[in-house]
Amino acid sequence: MKAKTAETREARRDRFRKLMLGSTEKRGVLMSIVVYVLLITIAFIYMYPILYMLSRSFMEKSDLLDASAKWIPSTVTLKNYSDAIATMDYWNSLAKNLYLAAVPTLCQVFICSMVGYGLARYNFPLKKFWMGVLILSFLLPTQTTALPNYLLFSRLKLVDGSIRPFLLTAILGQGFKSVLCILIFFNFHRQIPQSLVEAAEIDGAGHLKAYFGIAIPLSAAAIVVVTLFSFVWYWNETYLVRMYLGYGTTRSTGLTTLMLELQRFEDSYNSTFDARASSVTSTNKLNDAIRMAGTMLSIAPLMIMYFFLQKRFVESVDRAGITGE
């Protein structure tokens, strides 16, 4: 009887231990709590700046001075967004930013895909050496090569506020972080069974036909990843934009980006509302709420893009194997 009671007690302990700690088939309650606490904490750390900006962007000046209205505004106002849109010439700057980010991205994706496919598919002399040079060039900061490129483009008279410097570097495989894009395509094309390409070549397909007919359709996941990465990088880039386009380029005669407009936000605001400021200086003075509204408008297109493409992006990252697994 005592032995049976001891066995029952031990069985209860095992069930309780499995319930709290889990087993190989199922996660326990304690582990689930730990995982969810970590996920919520990490999500809050990442979301806090965005939530803070969003809350402040709807506040009036009275709420900014009121310590009790730190998160929830007493009165929701859209005037901050209307002022920010007028200051940044938002729709015009958005169209130019899309053009400046999308066109080099398309060129970079196409060129990097071909280079990655060539490195993965063919053997040629000094291949390992050039792969080593490629990986070492990935470690170089952008600022290291930006000045020589700028001097070269200046001598070729290409630094004229146009998109040509970005297009030229993207077409030559020297675009913004092109090395990482090449490595992503190389890693993905290396996983494609070579028997498929060889079968196509046996059937009479040439190198280009095998690339466009076999490699490109099978590399859709890598294309999605590189396209999104490249677009975001070109969208957020300000150093090269200021160098090639010029910080003082006017919106009406040259290209610009939302990030560039955000950097010179205060000067643009003062010039845009200078006429009104003479009569109501105190109400038109730039405040943090308008800055937050301008920041939210600058990142809104990327947030919308990630919202709609999140599922496809996560699946593509897993299939492309950019972690090296």
Q: Mind giving me the DSSP string for 22-35?
A: B-SSSB-HHHHHHH
Per-residue pLDDT band at 24 (split at 50, 70, 90): low
Name the more confident of 284 and 207: 207
Six token digits for residue 299: 């990142």
Report H helices in 22-89.
29-57, 61-64, 79-88
Tell me the pLDDT band of 284, cut-offs 50, 70 and 90.
Answer: very low
Section 175-191 average pLDDT: 84
At the topology level, CATH places domain 80-320 in MetI-like fold (1.10.3720)
Mean per-residue pLDDT, 281-302: 75
* pLDDT range class, residue 279, cuts 50, 70, 90: very low
Residue 108 or 220, more confident: 108
For residue 117, what are the CA distances in angstroms to 2, 190, 219?
72, 8, 10
Look at 311 and 177; give whichever has higher pLDDT: 177
CA end-to-end span of the chain: 55
| Percent of the chain surpassing pLDDT 90 | 1
Residue extent(s) of CATH 1.10.3720.10 domains in the chain = 80-320
